[in-house]
């Protein structure tokens, strides 16, 4: 990976000799939280190591551009910065096709960890305000980059691991509200680890390589070439998505939303309620939107559910035409699609 540097760039004082004028195009937006050291550190390394141009302030906040990528600094409370895609378009007339959120990750475990995850609160009761942003019963499209970037993160980790840290996907959770694909890329899990610059630089390298900064910004991820390929939605398990962690390391695997047990809330066997079904339906619809033409399939973590809960899930998925697959069967589907090519 090369030597990681510890620059002292003041982001708000960052200057380039060129200035980018606004024009209509299709862009990737990196949304930086100025109140989050893990977010600003990732941004710092992206700005230091690549030739960005200063962009006109957007909503009076600093912005930068390189190729078809835009970086926008926001003041605070990123989980409640709703509709960034539309707000950027309103201000610049550029269409945002996806949003990347460099961020910190907080966990009770306190273990240092680098994570990726989609966002949304599809399980939250309609009409109630979610405590960490988002809209109840809704999940923005999961960014198709989650699978490829998970493998890229592991590749870079094998080249130059950071002592004490580990890697993990996380399940779908929290805000903000968006209409375009999104992912969070995070340094965790407690305040002593958030400023870690080695971690920030590694994640910045994943962003830069994943968005093809050195390859002409040919950074389209899912396209018409992938139509018919299987896309995995996981149901059940813990917050750190053990099944997706494992399957996502296999070549050519696409990962959609990942719903933990707590995002599939059941009542009693006599009155199971609707939240579990609401959550599944929102996650599947959102994943299909992110992967147009993809074949959405579900992997159910059997041990996470009681027998009657599993049967309700299976029956519902069958009623809407979504196949339930075991891990090996899913990987055979992936392999079969590639062999047809």
- Structural domain contains residue 15: no
Longest Cα pair distance anywhere in the chain, in angstroms? 68
Residue-number span of the structural domain to which 174 is assigned? 21-210
d(CA 330, CA 232): 8
Per DSSP, the residues of 113-170 read: EEEEE---BTTSPTTSPPTTSS-TTB-PPBPTTHHHHHHHHHHHHHHSPPTT-EEEE-
pLDDT tens digit at each of 341 positions of the chain: 333 333 334 444 444 434 444 444 699 999 999 999 999 999 999 999 999 999 999 999 999 999 999 999 999 899 999 999 999 999 999 999 999 999 999 987 888 999 999 999 999 999 999 999 999 999 999 999 999 999 999 999 999 999 999 999 999 999 999 999 999 999 998 999 999 999 999 999 999 999 999 898 888 899 999 999 999 999 999 999 999 999 999 999 999 999 999 999 999 999 999 999 999 999 999 999 999 999 999 999 999 999 999 999 999 999 999 999 999 999 999 998 866 44
Q: Are residues 67 and 202 in the same domain?
A: yes
Domain count, the chain: 2
Q: Are residues 286 and 319 in the same domain?
A: yes
Q: Give every CB contact of residue 244 below 8 A, 6+ residues apart in sequence.
A: 169, 232, 234, 255, 258
Looking up tokens 């000799």 gives 17
Q: Are residues 265 and 300 in the same domain?
A: yes
Sheet strands (E) in the chain: 19-20, 26-33, 53-58, 61-66, 69-74, 95-106, 113-117, 166-169, 182-189, 230-235, 254-259, 295-300, 323-324
- Retrieve residue 68's tokens: 């078809």
Beta bridge partner(s), residue 54: 19, 64
d(CA 285, CA 230): 15
- Structural domain contains residue 194: yes
Q: Give every CB contact of residue 154 below 8 A, 6+ residues apart in sequence.
A: 167, 249
- Structural domain contains residue 1: no
Q: Are residues 119 and 237 in the same domain?
A: no
- Structural domain contains residue 326: yes
- Structural domain contains residue 245: yes
Pairing, β 230-235 against β 95-106: unpaired
Q: Are residues 185 and 48 in the same domain?
A: yes
**ω into 189 cis (within 30 of 0):** yes
Looking up tokens 């959770």 gives 173
Q: Which of 280, 116, 140, 293 is nearest to 210 (CA)?
A: 116
- Retrieve residue 168's tokens: 């993990």
- Structural domain contains residue 72: yes
Q: Are residues 74 and 205 in the same domain?
A: yes
338 within 8 A of 250, measured Cβ to Cβ: no
CATH of the domain at 289: 3.40.50.10700
SS3 55: strand
Q: Are residues 96 and 184 in the same domain?
A: yes
Q: What is the pLDDT of residue 201?
A: 98
d(CA 337, CA 225): 11
Q: What is the pTM of this model?
A: 0.92
Q: What is the pLDDT of residue 218?
A: 83
Q: Which of 145, 163, 306 is nearest to 236 (CA)?
A: 306
Q: Are residues 75 and 177 in the same domain?
A: yes
Final residue in a domain of this structure, among 210, 237, 260: 210
Q: For residue 312, what is the enclosing H or E element?
A: helix 307-319
Final residue in a domain of this structure, among 183, 210, 237: 210
Q: Are residues 121 and 86 in the same domain?
A: yes
Per DSSP, the residues of 75-100 read: -S-GGG-TTHHHHHHHHH-PEEEEEE
CATH of the domain at 88: 3.40.630.50
15 within 8 A of 47, measured Cβ to Cβ: no
Q: Are residues 96 and 170 in the same domain?
A: yes
Q: Are residues 144 and 181 in the same domain?
A: yes
- Structural domain contains residue 13: no
Final residue in a domain of this structure, among 186, 210, 234: 210
78 within 8 A of 40, measured Cβ to Cβ: no
Q: What is the pLDDT of residue 21?
A: 43
- Structural domain contains residue 10: no
Q: Are residues 108 and 145 in the same domain?
A: yes
Q: For residue 19, what is the enclosing H or E element?
A: strand 19-20
Q: What is the pLDDT of residue 109?
A: 82
d(CA 120, CA 282): 9
């Amino acid at each position: 990976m090369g030597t990681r540097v510890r620059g002292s760039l003041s982001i708000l004082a960052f200057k380039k000799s060129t200035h980018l004028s606004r024009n209509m195009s299709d862009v990737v937006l990196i949304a930086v939280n100025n109140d989050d050291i893990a977010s600003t550190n990732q941004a710092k390394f992206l700005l230091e190591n690549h030739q960005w141009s200063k962009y006109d302030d957007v909503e009076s906040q600093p912005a930068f551009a390189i190729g078809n990528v835009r970086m926008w600094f926001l003041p605070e409370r990123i989980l409640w910065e709703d509709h960034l895609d539309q707000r950027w378009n309103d201000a610049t007339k550029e269409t945002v096709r996806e949003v990347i959120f460099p961020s910190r990750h907080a966990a009770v475990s306190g273990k240092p960890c680098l994570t990726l995850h989609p966002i949304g609160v599809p399980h939250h009761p309609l009409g109630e305000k979610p405590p960490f942003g988002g809209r109840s019963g809704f999940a923005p499209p999961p960014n198709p980059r989650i699978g490829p970037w998970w493998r890229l993160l592991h590749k870079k980790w094998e080249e130059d691991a950071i002592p004490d840290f580990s890697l993990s996907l996380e399940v779908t959770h929290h805000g903000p509200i968006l209409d375009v694909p999104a992912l969070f890329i995070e340094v965790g899990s407690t305040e002593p680890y958030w400023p870690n610059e080695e971690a920030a630089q590694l994640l910045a390298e994943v962003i830069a390589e994943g968005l093809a900064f050195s390859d002409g910004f040919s950074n389209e991820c899912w396209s018409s070439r992938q139509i018919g390929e299987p896309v995995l939605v996981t149901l059940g398990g813990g917050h750190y998505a053990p099944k997706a962690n494992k399957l996502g390391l296999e070549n050519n695997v696409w990962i959609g939303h990942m719903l933990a047990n707590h995002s599939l809330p059941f009542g009693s066997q006599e009155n199971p309620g609707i939240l579990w079904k609401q959550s599944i339906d929102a996650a599947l619809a959102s994943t299909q939107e992110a992967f147009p033409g993809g074949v959405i399939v579900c992997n159910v973590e059997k041990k996470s559910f009681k027998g009657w809960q599993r049967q309700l899930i299976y029956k519902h998925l069958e009623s809407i035409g979504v196949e339930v697959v075991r891990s090996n069967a899913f990987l055979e589907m992936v392999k079969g699609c590639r062999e047809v090519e």
